[in-house]
Amino acid sequence: MKKWTNTWMGRWGPTLIWMGLIFILSSRQRITVSHTYAVNFLVFKTLHVIEYAILYTLMARSMVLSRKRPAHDALLIAFILTLIYAVSDEFHQTLVLSREGTPRDVLIDTVGITIMYVFIKTQARRLKKILV
């Protein structure tokens, strides 16, 4: 019996599911959690950082498990692919009523991606059991 991570779905399924979730959430009308702009801004921009940190982690996992390139290259390619998805998500939001796509949000997404890239690079030995 094949190990789950040796299957295409085991390697890429979690990443594609997370990307789909981001797409669905980006398709929804704008919501608020407070009447205060600053609170809404803080909550939703924090969510941007978290969702893209998770996406980068899943993308890096998929790339490393695919074993078609050295881990260092896989992490850089995952960074670029996740950033491209962030840009495409912001473009997608320009097509949704009551939403807007902004370069600022791409920068905020990049913060989440970068945090996880640095974390994974500095903790690679400890994370090897999780990623491989």
> What is the per-residue pLDDT across 86-132, written as a single tens digit (0 to 9) for each?
999 999 999 998 889 899 999 999 999 999 999 998 887 776 665 55
Residue with tokens 């205060």: 36
- Number of domains within the chain: 1
* Cβ neighbours of 107 (radius 10 Å): 11
What is the structure's pLDDT at 91?
A: 95
53: closest CA among 89, 79, 31?
79
Higher pLDDT, 27 or 31: 27
List of residues 6+ apart from 20 with CB closer than 8 A? none
Task: Please give the average per-residue pLDDT across 62-90, as a whole number.
Answer: 92
**CA–CA gap between residue 14 and residue 37 (Å, rounded):** 33
With 0.95 as the threshold, say if the pTM is over it. Answer: no
Average pLDDT of the segment spanning 60-78:
89
Residue range of the domain that includes 121: 4-131
Q: Over the chain, what is the mean pLDDT?
A: 90
pLDDT band at 1 (very low <50, low <70, confident <90, very high): very low
What ranges make up the beta strands (E) of 33-132? none
pLDDT at 50 over 70: yes
